[in-house]
Amino acid sequence: MRIVDIIPLVMQAGAPEVTSWTGAGGTSALATGRNWLFVKVVTDVPGLVGIGEGSGWPRVIHAAIGDLKQELIGQDARDIERLWQRMRLAMMGHGDTGVVGAGAITAIDMALWDIKGKALGTPVWNLIGGKLRRRVRYYAHVKTVADAQALVARGVTTVKLGGHENIVERVAAMRAALGRAIDITVDLHGPPWLPASDAIAIGKALEPFDILFLEDPVAPEDVEGWGRVRRALPHTPIAGGERLATKWGAQTLLRSGLVDIIQPDTGRAGGITEMRKIAALAEAHFVQFAPHSGSLGPVAEFAALHLMAAIPNGLMMERLEPDWAGKAQAVTPVPEAEDGHLLVPDRPGLGVELVEDFIAAHPSRRNVAIATGGWQDAEEQGATYVAMRRRRAQLLSPEEGQS
């Protein structure tokens, strides 16, 4: 069973209807539009084509897949681990793999698992250990109490708020409206302008609300800052890892006990092959696994479902709900939701196919942009490191700041 072609497809996806990326104010680039990168791996078996998805920087990954393709044509599609190692070796001369290189590997690796499942007539979860659960709990983004109440009415039991502007005040309002039966998570997004001292101040102010976890309190590169946050907030679960790639990236947070929940991104961590290894590494450190899927498209969501069905330490997965309406038109079928869970598919492979006419009708326009509003200081023109130093009092609500 040989690979005869690898075809990347990139599309412009619309903005999600609700997201916590923008926090209390401003507009993030991802909130106004995203790129989704899909891939088709074609074999010499008539009709046997695998699909995958990669993120990290979709337009750049599109080019990377075209490069990697030269090393994979003619290879046996069943040798997934060997091909994963071959792709990494091919990139070695270009430096650290990073999320862009890992995103390209991810898309192809995901498609190879899809091929194997289709060839054997069984779901991917059955190839990676079998089914531990028939459905996977998810959490969703909110900006307002009304957003949260709408999700709770559909059975969702965990909501996420994002950003740091007025975050304590917003969490207080959310907790008062939802009570203690609903979990609340907070994502600070790990910006380089938010030092550990300020992340700790926010974390301490949030302690009375018993949040489920505090996500990305500082930048992923600030390993010393992660340690300061961990030591200062011993009773607050800490989560992170979405901007890291491969098991070696995850190990940065796991080996020193810096996180309670690891969140590798399903589209850029290294594929199903690597995500299984990260989950096992996390299990060995008594850490739970909650894959990030923020801006991802529908194929990666299916991949996360298969993985979460088969690992013992799967906590829950992220989902945008409601998302852009076109998400349900880019693939067939769509995941089935039930009481705040997604049902694990039983079809062979990943159990999803691309709607290529719809994808082609939404060509990529752009993929990067500077966010506006919120934390930004218009006078600085991108010199973000001083932004927090001039508005530190606004980290806490007025009531908390006066206490």
CB 54 within 8 A of CB 367: no
Rounded distance between C-alpha atoms, residue 237 and residue 254, angstroms: 13
CA distances to 8, 264, 314 from 322, in Å: 27, 22, 23
Burial-class residue 27 by CB neighbours within 10 Å (0-12, 13-18, 19+). Answer: middle
Pairing mode, strands 34-43 and 49-54: antiparallel
DSSP, collapsed to helix, strand or coil, labels residue 86 as helix
Report CA dihedral (277, 278, 279, 283) to the nearest 10 degrees: 100
Taking the C-alpha atoms of residue 244 and residue 266, their distance in angstroms, rounded to an integer, is 11
Task: Provide the 3-class DSSP secondary structure of residue 132.
Answer: coil
Please tell me the chain's helix, strand, coil percentages from 3-state DSSP, rounded to the nearest 5: 40, 20, 40
State the chain's maximal CA–CA distance in angstroms.
70
Locus of tokens 């690898």: 6
Peptide bond into 123 cis (omega under 30): no
Give the separation between CA 348 and CA 379, rounded to whole angstroms. 55
Query: Is residue 400 a contact partner of residue 205, using CB atoms and an 8 Å limit?
Result: yes
The CA radius of gyration of the chain, in Å to the nearest whole number, is 21
Tokens 């898309």 correspond to what residue?
A: 107
Nearest to 298 by CA among 264, 340, 336: 336
Q: Tell me the β-bridge partners of 314.
A: 289
Point out the residues that are catalytic: 189, 292
Dihedral angle of Cα 336, 268, 34, 73, to the nearest 10 degrees: -90
**CA-based nearest residue to 274, from 250, 308, 299, 246:** 246
13 in Cβ contact with 324 (< 8 Å) = yes
